[in-house]
Amino acid sequence: MKNLAVANSSRFLNTEIQHPVIWAIIPARGGSKRLPRKNILPFAGGLSLTARTVQAAIAAQIFARVVVSTDDEEIAEDGRQAGALVPFLRPVALADDTASSVDVLRHAVSELRKIHPEERPVAVCLLQVTSPMLVSKHISEAVDLFLGGGFNSLSSMAKVSEFPEWMFRVEEPGGAAVPEDLAGITRPSAEILPRYIENGAIYLVKTDWLDQTGSLYDFAKHGCYAMTSEDSVDIDTRTDWDYAEFLTLRRNS
């Protein structure tokens, strides 16, 4: 699968692509309350979060189109410079804190179908720019797992070490601590089934399922692409940013 060409420019689509047609959608809105303009800021002395994600998607050599969905002209130009398509700007209604990822994804797919009615993508992949440790290897492996596993949906996840069996309920500060699981509170970790939590980096969904249900999830056929806890860092605050930069600079040193 790694010998397949990718449309990494707004000027062309490679018509010789042999892989099932998959569109990559990269949401990157202009507003950010906790860390203003985080999607456009230079990260670790280099590219912006948006440009990093675009280049990782292109380098995966798996997508027919790599598209940035944004409401912001500066981010749009940043995405184009990195090699993405930005054929539309996202409406204001889909650019605030209340806009869901699935609504942004459905809007992007709808707009792309108007522009490229001849294409029939088998699936769409949502990639989050706030996951700066995401690289092309993660993306291509997730797509391989998604297609090979017969899934209708898939998301990237990280293994957790905080098990419900070990948790307590405390109804108020200073109140009594009540175990969630009386039998499990002293159970060693080796006896507890591993659990995973979504890290927000990668979502894949079959377009038929998205069209029929409007959902990113088919829990009867949903896959997990596991990533390490370090690779799962998600940037929301300045502290997240600083930690992610530290990890990146350490890896590059």
Residues forming the active site? 187
Residues 199, 234: Cα–Cα separation, whole Å: 7
229/71 Cα distance (integer angstroms): 31
196, β-bridge pairs? 159
Cβ neighbours, 10 Å, residue 105: 22
Distance (Å, whole) CA 44 – CA 244: 8
First vs last C-alpha separation in the chain: 31
Angle at 132 between CA 127 and CA 136, to 5 degrees: 60
In 45-152, at which residue ranges do the beta strands (DSSP E only) sit? 65-69, 123-127
Is 23 in contact with 125 (CB distance < 8 Å)? yes
